Homo-oligomer: A and B are copies of this chain.
Amino acid sequence: MTKDKYIPCLLNLFRQHGYDGATLSKISKATGLGKASLYHHFPGGKDEMVTTILNYLEQALEENIKKPLRGEGDACDRFKRMCQSVNNLYEGGQQPCLFAILLLGSARDIFQEKVGQLLESWISEIAKVLIEAGKEENIARQRGEDAVIAIQGALILAQGLEDVAPFERILQELPEQLCI
């Protein structure tokens, strides 16, 4: 898959400009590929680019988020490692979340189902850790939701206030709040 090479660049573009804002002109300039070349790699146009990115993010979620949650140590240790990964993926809170961007943009209808699955699997994986740690099932599920809510909300606020401090604080507090 030679087109994998362009995924990081494309991810950045869609995160910075949104689905509509990332025009083929900008994509062409950023990747260094002509428009026709872009359609050679992604015959389906921007939709296929975003679908490719979402598949890449599904892997990243598996590798950087879920795997640490299934790793060594107690629940709190695992959550700490998850938060470190989250911090990296969102570059310390400076980068918005593509999931949220897609859910709030004009392409919502196209990508909502896939994004919903990814969010659901993230919540579910957090809940599993807490169930394993002895928490009641409903509580564990709620804590999983709370974690994703806090991360998504903090990313929004970081964008609004142009300040990553709330995001950093949320990530720091999250492991303990989940284990209480």
- Contact across chains for B153 and A166 when beta carbons are under 8 A apart: no
Bound Cα distance A99, B161 (Å): 12
Residues of B within 8 A of A159 (CB): 103-104, 108, 112
Chain B residue nearest to A16 (CB atoms) is B108
A105 contact set on B, CB distance < 8 A: 18, 20-21, 101, 104-105
Interface residues of A in 3-26 (CB under 8 A from B): 17-21
Q: Kindly state the separation between the CA atoms of A18 and B18 in the bound complex, as whole angstroms.
A: 10
A152 in contact (CB, < 8 A): yes
Within 8 Å CB of A166, what residues of B?
145, 149
Instruction: Tell whether, in the assembled complex, residue A160 and residue B17 are in contact, meaning their CB atoms are under 8 Å apart.
Output: no
Interface segment out of the listed A40-48, A75-83, A113-121 = A113-121
Partner of A149, one of B112, B119, B142, B157: B157
What residues of B have a CB within 8 angstroms of the CB of A107 in the complex?
21
Contact indicator A157/B101 (Cβ below 8 Å): no
Given contacts A96-B104, A100-B104, A104-B100, contact A116 B162 (CB under 8 A): yes
Indicate whether A179 reaches chain B with its CB closer than 8 angstroms: no
Say yes or no for A89: interface residue by CB 8 A criterion: no
Check: A131 CB closer than 8 A to any chain B CB.
Answer: no
The docked-state distance in angstroms from the alpha carbon of A108 to that of B156 is: 12
Interface positions of A (Cβ within 8 A of B): 17-21, 96, 99-101, 103-108, 112, 115-116, 119-120, 142, 145, 148-154, 156-157, 159-162, 166, 169-170
Give the top 7 A-B pairs by smallest Cβ distance, nearest first.
A21-B106, A153-B153, A20-B20, A149-B153, A152-B153, A103-B159, A152-B156
